[in-house]
Amino acid sequence: MKKSLALLLTLLMLFSLCACAQKAPEAASAPAEAAEAAELAESAEPAEPAEPAAPAETAAPAEAVDTSALKIACPNGAPALALATLAVENPDNYTIVAADTITAEFSNATADFIIAPLNAGAKLYKAEKSTYKLAAVVSWGNLFFASQRADFKLEDINGADITLFGENTINASIALYVLAQNGITPASVSYLAGAANTQQLLLTDANAIVLTAEPALTAARMKNEAITGCAVNELYKAATGNDGYTQAALFVKAELAEEQSELVDAYLKQVEASCEKCSSDLEAVAAAAVALEILPNEKVAMSAIPNCAVRFVAAQDAREQVETTANVDLKQFGGALPADDFYYASK
């Protein structure tokens, strides 16, 4: 009996030892995994610090394009105001000629840029007598009906005799067009050669109704305060919705436009800034106009310049308005609208 009991106790002890032996490895596995993780962390190469981002490259300022060698021709009078602040700084580059001789500059072809009546440039280009393309419109109408009559207004032209200047020119065509479109019918229309002639009539005939232009109108008013002027542009806007008609323009020689477009574009930006000064820096433009003998004195200049409608509009942007003006009298543009290649486009 005692032997059996001893055997039983021995078996129970063996069983307990086996059970403990099986649990020991499982308990040891947790610290082992932690140790392996720690070793892995220690053995891993430390992450290299991120390299600082390279500073963004800034574009080098574009080199200014040198326009100092360009040659420009323009007529004396209102259209020259567009270039006045440029010409006064570089007078050797600018040739100011009598208005009635400016078209000869197209055939001479010595100037890189020419300011001239837009229709004249278009007509010569269509006839293949010029290679100058339209670069920008710079003058949008400086015409006025004027009279010494008391309280003169445009309606007074109805049934009255009027005197225009420039028969068979775009100016006369515009004047007659706006009257007709606004239901104003004069009794008769006669013509004198130029604005200086109608200015003289305006000063000497208290009943005369004439077509004149700035700065002749301002000069006349300073001699006779009774003179009143009514802008043709008011009637033109009522007829077309446009703020002025395409009167004078800047033309660029085709060869220059093809071969040196960057130079052309650089100069056009200068002209745009110069035109802008006619409204933003009137004093500077007036002083330049007097220095260049475009206008007789600063008093006339300060009064006349705002009425000259100087404004820069690039050729492509002005095309619709060019065509509106041309359709008033196509024969003044050579009988047809200007072709696509007449309009300069920046490359």
Number of folded domains in the chain?
2
With pLDDT > 70 as the criterion, what percentage of the chain qualifies?
A: 82
CATH number at residue 83: 3.40.190.10
Give residue 52's Cα distance to chain centre. Answer: 44
Which of 220, 240, 260 delimits the end of a domain? 240
Contact indicator for 135, 264 with CB cutoff of 8 Å: yes
- Confirm whether 9 is domain-assigned: no
pLDDT number for residue 346: 87
* DSSP SS3 for 164: strand
Are 133 and 181 in the same domain? no
In this structure, is residue 10 part of a structural domain? Answer: no
Pairing, β 161-165 against β 188-192: parallel
Confidence of residue 26 (pLDDT cuts 50, 70, 90): very low
H runs (alpha helix) in the chain: 2-43, 84-87, 104-108, 118-126, 170-181, 195-204, 216-223, 232-240, 254-259, 261-280, 282-291, 298-304, 315-326
Look at the pTM and tell me if it is higher than 0.85: no
Mean pLDDT of 109-129: 97
* Residue 45 is assigned to a structural domain of this protein: no
127 and 251 inside one domain: yes
Q: What is the token pair recorded at 257?
A: 């436009």
Per-residue pLDDT at 155 = 93
DSSP 123-141: HHHHTTS--EEEEEEEE--
Which whole number is the average pLDDT over 320-342?
98
Query: Same domain for 216 and 92?
Result: no
Give the whole-angstrom CA distance, residue 316 versus residue 322: 10
Residue 18 included in any domain: no
pLDDT in tens, 165-212: 999 999 999 999 999 999 999 999 999 999 999 999 999 999 999 999
44 lies in a domain?
no
Domain membership of residue 226 (yes or no) is yes
Q: Do residues 255 and 228 both lie within one domain?
A: no
Using the predicted structure, report yes or no on whether residue 85 has a pLDDT greater than 80: yes
**Same-domain check for residues 83 and 136:** yes
Q: Do residue 171 and residue 254 come from a single domain?
A: no
The strand pair at 72-75 and 113-117 is best described as: parallel
66-84 pLDDT, tens per residue?
999 999 999 999 999 999 9
Dihedral angle computed from the Cα positions of residues 240, 244, 245 and 247, in that order, rounded to the nearest 10 degrees: 170
Q: How confident is the model at residue 227 (pLDDT cuts 50, 70, 90)?
A: very high
On whether both 159 and 233 belong to a single domain, the answer is yes
- What per-residue confidence (pLDDT) applies to 21? 38
- Looking up tokens 């080098």, which residue turns up? 60
Per-residue pLDDT band at 20 (split at 50, 70, 90): very low
Residues 260 and 216 reside in one and the same domain: no
Cα distance between residue 247 and residue 121, in whole Å: 11
Using left for φ > 0, alpha for ψ between -120 and 50, and beta otherwise, residue 317 falls in alpha
* Phi/psi of residue 166, nearest 5 degrees: 75, 60
Q: What residues make up the domain containing 186? A: 143-240
Q: Give the per-residue pLDDT at 64.
A: 85
Q: Single out the residue in 177, 210, 240 at which a domain terminates.
A: 240
279 within a domain of the structure (yes/no): yes
Are 169 and 108 in contact, with CB atoms under 8 Å apart? no
Q: What's the whole-number mean pLDDT along residues 80-105?
A: 96
- Give me the pLDDT at residue 347, please: 77
Both 324 and 295 in a single domain?
A: yes
Residue 12 has pLDDT above 60, yes or no: no
Q: What φ, ψ does residue 264 adopt, rounded to 5°? A: -60, -50
Q: Which of 184, 209, 240 is the last residue of a domain?
A: 240
C-alpha torsion sign, points 241, 300, 189, 170 = negative
Does residue 225 share a domain with residue 147?
yes
Q: What is the CA radius of gyration of the chain?
A: 42
- Read off the pLDDT of each residue in 271-289 and give the average, rounded to a whole number: 98
Instruction: Report how many helices (DSSP H) and strands (DSSP E) the chain contains, helices first.
Output: 13, 11
- Residues 175, 232 within the same domain: yes
What is the rounded distance in angstroms from the CA atom of residue 201 to the CA atom of residue 113? Answer: 36
In a domain, 81, yes or no: yes
Q: What is the largest CA-CA distance in the chain?
A: 164
Return d(Cα 249, Cα 317) in angstroms, integer. 13
Q: Does one domain contain both 317 and 186?
A: no
